[in-house]
Amino acid sequence: MSKENPKQVAGYASYTLLDSLGNCTTASVHGAYKVDSVLTDSNYVLINVQFSSTGKYYINTDTVNGMWFIDSGYVLLTGSKVIKLKGYGKPILPNGGTFLITHNNETCGFSLTSSPADDYLPTSTGSTWRFQYIPALIGNGGSNIDSFDITVIPPSINYNNKVYFQYATSLLDTFYFAKSSNDYYEFGTLDFDYTFIFDKEDSFMEYIYLKDNQPVGTTWETTELGVSYGAAFGGTSTPGTAKDVFTIVSINQPYTVAGKTFQNVITVRRDVMFKATGTTSFVKVMDGTAMYAKGYGLIDQAINIPGGSKENIPILRWNIK
């Protein structure tokens, strides 16, 4: 049976955050820091502390951007010791910050940068995706187009109190997407993602294509847009108006494509509705589903083409910056 010596741990330890030259010792930051993600055991900072006496210690930082770091305990030997400051809270904004530790008129610190929350629309410049057409499309000159690339390019564009990011394709088209709160917007046409199904559309329009906080069965629709439709699918181009109706089919589900199982996938059905000029009712002319993965965006799309054929547009590879 052992007996601890209470004198060994009585009172508070004396220590310094400085090295022998009077400079702050280095700190090592560990873990990922994402907006709205609560810090876990993987979020910590290692600091070097020089103890000149034994006893209790309590070391903490100030609070920056919704986060702070703390450790406490006993030190039984003097000399240099690595202390692990545990992280608490969660980042509020995606930016950098400096955390300060103040002790006996000494102030030292370390910096870290929190990144944007994982959502369903990566927006970092240079992020790229490659998608495949199944079956391949017939392009100009009769050549087959079996894949295309998407790249986020600067600059972003402010419109209607939202920041729209540009997504340029290797087929020389540009699409515009934005996020506001839990809603995801396109400023463009009423076609499926990265496709064109109408013969003509009068203008671009803003509409929600995804909601990431709604239950299965939630539905919404766009306003109407003047279009011409039919020639692209072997019929006669007919003028009229169109609208899209969206329905959440599933949420927070795994989905496997390109050899990877993505988590937290939301599947949304899009029904394309058309009302020919001179008629009074909308009819569904096409429908399809799009799968969006958290942290990756669109990962697959299955479109039912008029006449009974289908077009699948799965992701092949990606590089999210």
Q: Which residues pair with 187 in a beta bridge?
A: 206
**Close Cβ partners of 150 (under 8 Å, ≥ 6 residues apart):** 128, 129, 130, 131, 167, 168, 169, 170, 194
Task: Kindly state whether residues 79 and 181 are assigned to the same domain.
Answer: no
Q: How many domains does the chain have?
A: 2
How much is the pLDDT for 181? 85
Amino acid type, 43 = N
How much is the pLDDT for 96? 86
Judge whether 119 lies within some domain. no
From CA 43, how far away is CA 101, in angstroms rounded? 17
How much is the pLDDT for 237? 95
How much is the pLDDT for 136? 87
Nearest Cα to 265, choosing from 276, 278, 251? Answer: 251
Residue 35 structural domain: 7-113
**Close Cβ partners of 207 (under 8 Å, ≥ 6 residues apart):** 185, 186, 190, 222, 223, 244
- State how far Cα 228 lies from the chain centre: 35
How much is the pLDDT for 35? 79
Task: Kindly state whether residues 184 and 53 are assigned to the same domain.
Answer: no
Judge whether 122 lies within some domain. no
Judge whether 118 lies within some domain. no
Judge whether 308 lies within some domain. yes
Mean pLDDT of 172-177: 94
Judge whether 2 lies within some domain. no
CB 159 within 8 A of CB 206: yes
Final residue belonging to a domain, choices 113, 144, 175: 113
How much is the pLDDT for 70? 98
Mean pLDDT of 84-91: 95
Nearest Cα to 53, choosing from 1, 14, 103? Answer: 14
Task: Kindly state whether residues 105 and 135 are assigned to the same domain.
Answer: no
Task: Kindly state whether residues 282 and 141 are assigned to the same domain.
Answer: yes
CB 259 within 8 A of CB 301: no
Bigger pLDDT: 263 or 69? Answer: 69
Q: Which of 6-10, 46-50, 152-156, 242-246 has the lowest mean pLDDT?
A: 6-10
How much is the pLDDT for 141? 59
From CA 27, how far away is CA 14, in angstroms rounded? 20
In three-state secondary structure terms, 233 is helix
pLDDT for 98-157, tens place per residue? 999 999 999 999 999 888 778 899 988 899 999 999 988 766 555 678 999 999 999 999
- Percent of the chain topping pLDDT 90: 77
Q: How confident is the model at residue 317 (pLDDT cuts 50, 70, 90)?
A: very high
How much is the pLDDT for 239? 97
How many C-beta atoms lie closer than 10 Å to residue 77's C-beta?
8
pLDDT for 10-29, tens place per residue? 689 999 999 989 999 989 99
Task: Kindly state whether residues 100 and 154 are assigned to the same domain.
Answer: no
Task: Kindly state whether residues 99 and 153 are assigned to the same domain.
Answer: no
Q: Which of 138-142, 167-171, 176-180, 190-194 has the lowest mean pLDDT?
A: 138-142
Task: Kindly state whether residues 195 and 266 are assigned to the same domain.
Answer: yes
Domain harbouring 98, CATH code: 2.60.40.350
- Percent of the chain topping pLDDT 70: 95
Task: Kindly state whether residues 191 and 253 are assigned to the same domain.
Answer: yes
Task: Kindly state whether residues 137 and 108 are assigned to the same domain.
Answer: no
Final residue belonging to a domain, choices 71, 88, 113: 113
From CA 227, how far away is CA 74, in angstroms rounded? 74
Task: Kindly state whether residues 225 and 299 are assigned to the same domain.
Answer: yes
Judge whether 1 lies within some domain. no
Final residue belonging to a domain, choices 60, 80, 113: 113
Task: Kindly state whether residues 90 and 161 are assigned to the same domain.
Answer: no
How much is the pLDDT for 10? 61
Domain harbouring 237, CATH code: 2.40.360
Q: Which of 64-68, 178-182, 217-221 has the lowest mean pLDDT?
A: 178-182
Burial 235-267 (b: 16+ CB within 10 A, else e): eeebebbbbbbbbbeebeeebebeeeebebbbb
CB 287 within 8 A of CB 112: no
Judge whether 248 lies within some domain. yes
How much is the pLDDT for 7? 47
How much is the pLDDT for 2? 38
Task: Kindly state whether residues 90 and 167 are assigned to the same domain.
Answer: no
Alpha-carbon torsion, ordered 280, 284, 285, 291, to 10 deg: 150
Please determine, for residue 1, whether its predicted confidence score (pLDDT) is greater than 50.
no
Q: What's the mean per-residue pLDDT of the chain?
A: 91
Mean pLDDT of 299-304: 96
